[in-house]
Amino acid sequence: MEDTIILYPSPGMGHLVPMVELGKLILNHNPSFSIIILITTAPFDTGSTSSYIKRVTVATPSVHFHHLPTISPPSTTSLDNIAALAFELPWLYNSNLHHALQTMISQKSRPTASIIDFFCNSSFEVFTSLDIPTYYFFTSSASSLSALLSLPKTHQILLEKNKDPNTPIEFPGVPPIPTPDLPGPILDTEGIAYKSFFGTAINMVKSTGILTNTCHAFEPRAVKAISDGLCTPNLPTPSVYCIGPIVANSDEDHEHECLRWLDSQPSRSVVFLCLVVRGCSKQSN
């Protein structure tokens, strides 16, 4: 019987594509494995994934997609609060997830391991309750991971900084960050999103390990700080694996016009602003 690894991304292309590329990376090193990617549906538009899933299924037969039954839209979280909603959705899917995993186990195809998107933190207890070793896939940088893992340690500091924002806050291995420049969900220490990030940091320490989409040469200070336990004092130091950068290959044979434009600009004359999927920036910035 082939070993099966479960991958559990958040809804939408922005989280599905990195998880698929992770599955391909695993298969490159272990071709005998079988990858099952669990698909959930968000109550807001995340873009169609059906054509992408079909292409992957044809090109990589060892990657299988399992759609969990759709759940009713959440009623307690505002759809405007995307960060809080991203954490709440997997929690609503926990019952369907548990049933799907039990079905696999009853068919004598117990997963060897699971890798969950950090937004799917609420599923951690579902996997571990079934004795399935569980890893987290952190799709961002090691610097961001350092800040996340440090939340239990810096909670009181954040409360104080909210009262006096003049002094920057320090995360291990990361340059000091002025408090007003921190993400909004981190500043709102009473909000659902902050509490979800906090809970994720706690569970990450308990997990089998953390995979992060970076490489050691990019962020040696942040990676070392995490590995040395500076982010999680008095707690177990999680095993961190730098597996990036994971980037999907383009289906296009020609170079995009924006890259040609970029190559024609003077050196150091362009500022790159990354807004991720649903990010935004103030007009003054």
Catalytic residues: 15, 117
DSSP 122: G
Closest CA to 37 of 5, 1, 14, 2: 5
Q: How many other CB atoms are found less than 10 A from the CB of residue 283?
A: 5
Residue 203 backbone phi and psi in degrees, to 5: -70, -30
Closest CA to 237 of 223, 248, 250: 223
DSSP 120: G
Closest CA to 43 of 97, 104, 94, 85: 85
Q: Assign 161 to helix, strand or coil.
A: helix
The CA dihedral of 267, 274, 155, 194, to the nearest 10 degrees, is 180
Q: Assign 80 to helix, strand or coil.
A: coil
Distance CA 62, CA 56 (A): 10
Closest CA to 120 of 39, 200, 218: 200
Residue 136 backbone phi and psi in degrees, to 5: -105, 140
